[in-house]
Every structure is written in C-alpha cells, then in structure tokens.
Structure 1
Amino acid sequence: MKENPPRLFGTSGIRDRFGEVVTLELAADTGRALATVLGGRGRVAVGYDTRTSSQLLENALIAGLLECGCDVIRLGMVPTPLVGYATSRLGADAGVMITASHNPAPYNGIKLWNPDGMAYRPSQEREIESVIHEGSFLKREWDGLGSIREMDITSRYMDEVLSMVKMERELKVVIDCGCGAASHISPLIFRRSGCSVITLNSHPDGFFPGRDPEPVPENLSELMETVKSTGADLGIAHDGDADRMVAIDDKGRFASFDKLLALMAREIGGKIITTVDASLCVDECLGDCGEVIRTRVGDVHVANSIAEENADFGGEPSGTWLHPDFCMCPDGILSALRVAELVSKKGSLSSLLDEVPSYPNIRDKIPCPDERKKDVMERVASELAGQFRDPAGVESIDGVRISMRDGSWVLVRPSGTEPYIRVTLEGKTDEEAREIHEITLSYLEKIIG
C-alpha cells in the first residue's frame, strides 16, 4: 500500500469530477472492494442518477461486484432514497448509488448504504479505501462469479411513501426536479397524493439544461415565478438525486432552510437531531415539544445520532432530512410530501414560516485548495476567536464554532466534497451578522492568500 494514500471518501461518499478522480477504474475497484468486504457473497442493490457518466460508472462498479462474487439487484435510474429503501426492504447486504447529488454536471460519485438503509459510516468507508489502496481483492473463478437481477420497485416505494402521509385538502404544487433522478417519481407521487401538479425540468437529462442541480435561490427563479403566477400553494425543488428538497411558499419566496426544518421538527416533536450549523430557531420553535441534539455536518452523522439517541426525526438545514419511521436514508420525496401535508392541515406555508423566530443568517464559502485545508483550520482554531470583541466559547464538534455572549455564532469548516472553506453564521441583528461575516471572511482571505 502506498504511504499516506489519498482519501477517497468525503462527507458524502466519493465525489469529484468524472474522468479525473472518479474514473471507471475507481468504480470497478470500489465494486471489488465492497464485494471483498462482504466476503464475496450476498446481494448489492445498485442505482444511478441522470448524469451522462452514470451508466458507465454503474457498469464498471457492477463488473467489480460480479468479479468478486456478489450478486447485483440492478435498480436502474432512480433517486437515492429508492436505493436506501430497496436495500432495507429487499434484504440486500449493501446498496450503492452512483450520483454527485447537487454538484454540477461534470461531477459524479459513489455512495454506499447499509442493510438498514443508512449510509456507510466513516469507519466502513476507511475499510473500503484500505482494500482499494492495497488491491487486496477477492479472486473468483468462472463458476464463482456473481449474477444480475433487474428489479423495478418504484410502485412499491410509492405505495409505502403515500401510506405515511394524508392530505386534508387538495393543494396546487409546482415541482422542479432539475432534470434529475426524481423527474418521473416525484410529480407522479404528488398527483397520487391528491395534489394538482405543475412540473418544471421534469425530464431526465444529465446535462441539466434547465438549471444547475443545487436547489438554491439563484437557481430557482423560474420555480418562484411559476408558483406566484399560477397561484400555487407550494413549490418543491429537488437536487440531482432527490435526497434533498427545498420549498417555495405561496408568495413565491424561498423557504428558509432553518425555518422549514424548525417547522417539521415541531410537527414531529420528540427527540430531534440536527447539525452544528442549524439555527437557534429550531430550538425555539420546538420549545417544550422535544429536545434538539446537534451533531457533525453530513447526513451519515445525523443518521448515526438518530440511531444512537433513538430520535424521532433528523435533518440538515440544507434540506436533507431523515425519517426513521420510514427509512434511514435521506428522502427528499417523503420530506416534500410531509411539508405538503403540513400545509394541507395547518394553513399557508408563508404564514407558518412567519411564525418561526428569525435571525439574520449568512452562509458563504471561500475557495481553498484541499491540501491547504488542514493548516487553515488549525489556524482558525487557535486564532479566529481572538478577532471578535466578545467571544464566549469555541467548540470543535465539526470544524470550529465560535459563540458570542449574546447567542450569535459563527461556524468555519472545510467542505468534504469541494475545494472550499464554508462559513455559516447567525447574528441577533443584521448589523451584528454583517460584522461577524466581514471579520471572518477578512481573516480567512488573509491566511488562505
């Protein structure tokens, strides 16, 4: 094995530009490594998103699995939540999704799933990495190779998801699938729930011609305008693989990530898991209805905490939510349906969002080469707090989170999937948020150079 071999897995599986880091050779080796770790036996459910490189990678990965003795359940082009669902419901020994989620079209990736539908833990990913770097794959003769079974469980997935929600009135919903993997399923499942549906970018296309896959406000102007112009109750947007969703309210406004998470936490109640970058409004909205526990950024960390705490619900402010009463895989389709169910029961989304406490919140990212991240974060941990007038404490659950005495805070952490340092902050006033932002960015730009 090479000395200090490169890390392959980030915060959300393997993910990088196709043909540079994510290659056919890496996909085949990942299949071989997974089969090796599984002992060269068992079944693996495999799906892929709409990217132009996805089928190439899927074929290579399946070849690696078969070569080392695993059988394959081939799901085809499906959203990530369906892979997690299939892995848990079909008794598979693992699941694999070929996707780069919200990243631009040139990117792709590989994400692995446990039999319960939970993403592979970091320790499991390190084991896969070790086998790949050592090349210590199982060898099988011609009579020990795996087999492939094609399977479509979309209808079963939709039936079970629909059993989880009950609309109390018909809603008009605009759904923007971003030409991603939910393009067929999400509009259909909403129609079956009783909603009137208008679709945007709901034709699978790996070039993502309608908009970039990341469902952020700057990419959703068409959805916002369509919600307003059609008098819709709700707009929904997915990322490339539909493990996430975001909402547009009835006034055509992008629903605050944190406020939407807070509303769902209050609706479900009980023990709620969220991340260190989530707003204080989640705690305040939940109130006496439950308890908020914070963990590291990344759906696998949220999932682990849900399992450890026996929690009722978990989610990241990005719109990646987990519903343990259904499956431990993030599910943007079920999340969207539960937002619609909430609106059907409690009134307009705009009025519900306006009830949630609001604090100025800024999210930003600073370019930083991957090889500089470790040094930059070491300096942030020792120096950044001293840049502020009234710091109250420093935490290192994930990155560096500095709290101020009035409750304001800033979180600085390295991206696990892109060459950036991410900054998230919350101030009690606009002026304070801007000041924290300016101090943090000025400091980071100075030390990154």
Structure 2
Amino acid sequence: MRKLFGTAGIRGEYGKVISPEIAYKVGLAMATFIGGKGVVSVGHDVRLTSPLLSSSVASGLMAGGVDVVNVGLVPTPILAFTAPHLGLDGGVMVTASHNPPPDNGIKCFNSKGMEFTEKMEEELEEIIFNEKFTYAKWDDVGNLEYYPEVVDEYVDKLLSKFKPKRIRRKIRVIVDCANGAASNITPLILRELGASVLSINCHFDGLFPGRIPEPRPDVLEGLGRIAKTVNVDVAFAHDGDADRLSALTSDGRFILNDRLIAYYAKVKLLEKGGGVVIVSIDTSFAIDEVVEKYGGEVVRAKLGKTHEKLVEYGLKAVMSAEPWKLIDPDWGYWVDGIYQAALLTSHMLEEGVTIEELLKDIPEYPQVRVSFKVPNETKHRIVSEVHEKMREVFKNYESELSIDGLRLNMPDKSWVLVRASGTEPKVRIYAEARNTKKLNEIYEKTLKILKEVAGKYEVKIS
C-alpha cells in the first residue's frame, strides 16, 4: 500500500521522498480536505529546501481556493499556535525536525493546532494518490498574506503564563538550539523570565554546523562539557524545529527524558487533582510510579500519536508526552519544546534550585535506546520476525503491548520494545531495568535476535 505519512507527517530525503511536486499536492489536498475555502497558515524551518517547499505548499493551498497566512521561518510550535490564536482552519509546517540536513518533511495541523490524526492523513493520501483535487476558478483562488508578527505574540503569551511570582535565585542557563528555528526565541524567553542565559549554536544555519539536530545523549556530550565548565544550573537543547527539548544537569549529565515527563505529570496532577497522563509506548515505569503517587492513571499510545489519545480521553487527560515532547492541553494541542524550557526555567527561578534539585524526587532507572539502519523495504518484515522470537526468548514476560512495535513487560518491572521507525530507515531497540546488569542482559538477548533475523535478509546490524 502506498503511503506518504509516517509517525510524524511526511519525512525523508529531498528529491526522493519529498519534493516541490509532493509539497504542492499536499497543499492542494489540504485545500480540498477543508472544502476549498478558509485560511491556513504555512511556516518552515531553517533547512535549505524549506523556503522552496513551503512556497509549493502555499501554491497548492491557493490553487485550491484557500487563503494563506505565511509566517515564514518559525519553530513548529509557533506554526501550530497560529491556528487557534488567529482563528484559522489549519496550518502546514515544512520541517524534518531532527533528521539530517538533506531531509525535509511536512506536517499538517487542524484548527486547534493539533497535528492531523492518522485517519485525516489517510484522507489526504486518498486525495493525492487518486488525484481527487478540487481546483478553484481563476477568480476564486486563495490570497497570500505575510504575518511574522505572530512570533512576538507567541512569546508574549508564553511569558505571561510563566512569569515567576518571585525569583528566589537568578539561575544560570545555557541553551543549544542546534542552529534551528528557535535560535532567536528560546534564549530570549528564558532571559525575559529572569534567568542569566548563555547560548550556543543559536544562529540560523540549515547545514546544522554545530551538531546534528537530534538532541540525544551522545550528540550532547560537547554541550555537557561546556555546561560543567561555565557553571550553569541547567543546559537545554532543542532539535531543528524546537518541538523537542533535552536537559542536562549542572555537571553536564544527560537527564533521561522520562524523568522530565514524570515531573510534568507531577505538576499537572497537583494542579488538576488527578487525571489521565498519556505517554508513548517507549516510556519508563518511573512515570507510572509518579503518576500513581499523585493520584493519576497512565495510558500508553503509539509514538507520534499521543495527541490522538488526548482527544479520545478529553477533559480526563491532563497531558500527553513522549521522550523529548510534551503536549499540555491547557496551553495548546501541539508538541512544544519552547514551552518545556519556559516551564522548567520558571520553576527553577521560583524555587532557586538547579535542575537536579527540581527533579530530586523523580526516580531514575537504567535505559537503552538504540537505532540500527535497516532498509525501508525490509524493516517491517524483519521486525515482525523479531517479535515472534522475542516472545520465545522472554517467555516469562508478564504482559505485552503491540500498538506500535512489541513491548514486553517483565514481572520485575523491566521491559523491552522493538519497533520500526516511522520516520527513518531504522529499527529501534528500547529497554529498561532496575539495574545495569539486568538491562545489559535484556539488550544483548534482543540484539542477538535482531542480528540473526536481519542476517536472513542480508542486512548487517552494526
């Protein structure tokens, strides 16, 4: 079955997966989808092909009779923000998020600023693959308006939400924006909140010269060394479009993303007096412990689709999250890394603490999160066979989740997950245990299974 959309929109190498032609068709399909009238915002990240692709999307929208508000170079959270803030019918963001520089992609948002659901994406694919486009007549094509001022409006609104009631101590923060779309925004917001801010890789550059734009532990080792040297209370790092946030301690250690999720859950549950916390399938049992402690319930969902569960649970849900990503429905229905940085900074300022002290009551368990390059043509078959063998090797598992890959939960609260990436030609292994010895045992068994199965398809795992 032909497919354009993956875990997080359309994403892949420019000229192969994504092109001006595809971008135009997505814009035209979006216009057809919303009935050939209305207003949709279009924005893009810093990638070299992004201005071209966003212009193509806008052209498709206008050809279908929809007016376009072009907000230019913005982080994904701000593009999503435009829809409810300006009362629009939707938004389209051109970004490949944390992917390498040659890649690009497209994400579509509804009038609430929420990323399209799988069903909505399938409807767009149906329009595109069957060419069921609706074109506007010559005198009814869409208009084009530029509105970069929305960036300032987003900043003002976020500052008003998180301005500290009092500052117990002026904390020191270093921010690494990966030369991405938030380079001129996150440092400004944290400074306006009251922090002393140092910045690194905070000029726009679509080649991402400072580091690759995925804020994972190995990539941020350099930032960790700098953080330790310049004596900060926390280090923050974004991906290319700032829907993600990673944090490092004052001595440069990477903070497991699940601990941040657990902290956000604690904050929201204390605020709401209970509720449902939606997290992705690859998250730690540490979250469950915190959520249960504060009177909440954990529900797990597919990676990249926690927003769909958020809609399903309605007012019962206090938040949804996956590693690096948070949606707070009281702020908006989009993933927002800038929001995370502002929330953490505001709390640290009010309490006068380092990030370690802020998270002191959040548990931490050893984890492994590893990706292996596997061709798209074979990755799903390989993963399917791996799943069968996992059930045999870990035969004493207590429960399983198969909503996105296969996760086996063990009686001792360890777990392992294997899934095919929805955005890249990769297979991913995730695991957690209460001690390093057990973690290594689970990981090595799983890796052995993957190597054996991949070998049958002449794919080398290294």
Give the TM-score of the pair, scaled to structure 2: 0.93
CA displacement at 1:338 relative to structure 2:
0.8
CA displacement at 1:354 relative to structure 2:
4.4
CA displacement at 1:178 relative to structure 2:
0.6
Q: Which residues of 2 match residues 176-215 of structure 1 at below 5 A?
A: 176-215=176-215
SS at match of 2:21: helix
Q: Please give the per-residue CA displacement for 1:236-272, whole angstroms capped at 9, x wherever unaligned.
A: 1110000111111122211111112112211221332
1:18 to 8, 14, 23: 14
1:292 to 273, 292, 297: 297
SS at match of 2:48: coil
Runs of 4+ in 1 over 4 A off after TM superposition: none
SS at match of 1:144: coil
Taking structure 1 as reference, are residues 219 and 374 closer, same or farther at Cα in structure 2, changes over 3 Å only?
closer
SS at match of 1:10: coil
User: Contact between 1:368 and 1:421, CA under 8 Å: does it hold in 2?
Assistant: yes
Q: Which residues of 2 match residues 299-378 of structure 1 at below 5 A?
A: 299=304, 301-309=305-313, 310=315, 311-317=317-323, 319-346=324-351, 347-378=353-384
- Structure 1 gap segments, 5+ residues each: none
Q: Which residues of 2 match residues 278-289 of structure 1 at below 5 A?
A: 278-289=283-294
* 1:171 corresponds to 2:171: yes
SS at match of 1:410: strand
* Distance (whole Å) between structure 1 residues aligned to residue 101 and residue 54 of structure 2: 16
Q: Please give the per-residue CA displacement for 1:197-234, whole angstroms capped at 9, x wherever unaligned.
A: 11101101101111110011222233222222221111
* 1:58 corresponds to 2:54: yes
SS at match of 1:391: coil
Partner of residue 115, structure 2: 119
Taking structure 1 as reference, are residues 41 and 444 closer, same or farther at Cα in structure 2, changes over 3 Å only?
same
User: Contact between 2:278 and 2:301, CA under 8 Å: does it hold in 1?
Assistant: no
Partner of residue 413, structure 2: 407
SS at match of 1:326: coil
Q: Please give the per-residue CA displacement for 1:34-89, whole angstroms capped at 9, x wherever unaligned.
A: 11111111111000000000001011111111111110000000000001110111
1:81 to 74, 77, 84: 77
User: Contact between 1:274 and 1:292, CA under 8 Å: does it hold in 2?
Assistant: no
* Distance (whole Å) between structure 1 residues aligned to residue 206 and residue 152 of structure 2: 24
* Distance (whole Å) between structure 2 residues aligned to residue 188 and residue 342 of structure 1: 17
CA displacement at 1:306 relative to structure 2:
2.0
User: Contact between 1:276 and 1:294, CA under 8 Å: does it hold in 2?
Assistant: no
User: Contact between 2:71 and 2:147, CA under 8 Å: does it hold in 1?
Assistant: yes
CA displacement at 1:288 relative to structure 2:
2.8
* Distance (whole Å) between structure 2 residues aligned to residue 156 and residue 139 of structure 1: 34
The 10-residue stretch of structure 1 (437-446 or 397-406) with the greater mean CA deviation from structure 2? 397-406
CA displacement at 1:389 relative to structure 2:
5.7
Partner of residue 428, structure 1: 434
* Distance (whole Å) between structure 1 residues aligned to residue 45 and residue 19 of structure 2: 16
User: Contact between 1:183 and 1:202, CA under 8 Å: does it hold in 2?
Assistant: yes
* Distance (whole Å) between structure 2 residues aligned to residue 416 and residue 26 of structure 1: 19
User: Contact between 2:195 and 2:349, CA under 8 Å: does it hold in 1?
Assistant: no
Partner of residue 458, structure 2: none
SS at match of 1:184: coil
One-letter amino acid of the counterpart of residue 92, structure 1? L
SS at match of 1:12: coil
Partner of residue 222, structure 1: 222
* Distance (whole Å) between structure 2 residues aligned to residue 197 and residue 292 of structure 1: 36
* Distance (whole Å) between structure 2 residues aligned to residue 17 and residue 191 of structure 1: 36
Q: Please give the per-residue CA displacement for 1:143-191, whole angstroms capped at 9, x wherever unaligned.
A: 1111101112111111111122133422211111110000111111111
CA displacement at 1:384 relative to structure 2:
1.2
* Distance (whole Å) between structure 2 residues aligned to residue 125 and residue 60 of structure 1: 19
* Distance (whole Å) between structure 2 residues aligned to residue 195 and residue 345 of structure 1: 11
One-letter amino acid of the counterpart of residue 448, structure 1? A
Taking structure 1 as reference, are residues 263 and 139 closer, same or farther at Cα in structure 2, changes over 3 Å only?
closer
Partner of residue 162, structure 1: 159
User: Contact between 1:362 and 1:437, CA under 8 Å: does it hold in 2?
Assistant: yes
Taking structure 1 as reference, are residues 285 and 394 closer, same or farther at Cα in structure 2, changes over 3 Å only?
closer
SS at match of 1:442: helix
User: Contact between 2:301 and 2:309, CA under 8 Å: does it hold in 1?
Assistant: no
* Distance (whole Å) between structure 1 residues aligned to residue 136 and residue 394 of structure 2: 61
SS at match of 2:398: strand
* Distance (whole Å) between structure 2 residues aligned to residue 284 and residue 201 of structure 1: 36
SS at match of 1:219: coil
The 10-residue stretch of structure 1 (376-385 or 49-58) with the greater mean CA deviation from structure 2? 376-385
The 10-residue stretch of structure 1 (241-250 or 382-391) with the greater mean CA deviation from structure 2? 382-391
One-letter amino acid of the counterpart of residue 320, structure 1? K
SS at match of 1:417: coil
One-letter amino acid of the counterpart of residue 157, structure 1? Y
SS at match of 1:312: strand
Aligned residues: 443
* Distance (whole Å) between structure 1 residues aligned to residue 298 and residue 292 of structure 2: 13
One-letter amino acid of the counterpart of residue 151, structure 2? T
CA displacement at 1:363 relative to structure 2:
0.8
* Distance (whole Å) between structure 2 residues aligned to residue 186 and residue 406 of structure 1: 41
User: Contact between 2:288 and 2:298, CA under 8 Å: does it hold in 1?
Assistant: no
User: Contact between 1:264 and 1:339, CA under 8 Å: does it hold in 2?
Assistant: no
Percent identity (aligned): 39
* 1:69 corresponds to 2:76: no
SS at match of 1:383: helix
* 1:41 corresponds to 2:49: no
Q: Please give the per-residue CA displacement for 1:355-402, whole angstroms capped at 9, x wherever unaligned.
A: 322222111122222222332233233331211263223321221111
* Distance (whole Å) between structure 2 residues aligned to residue 145 and residue 39 of structure 1: 13
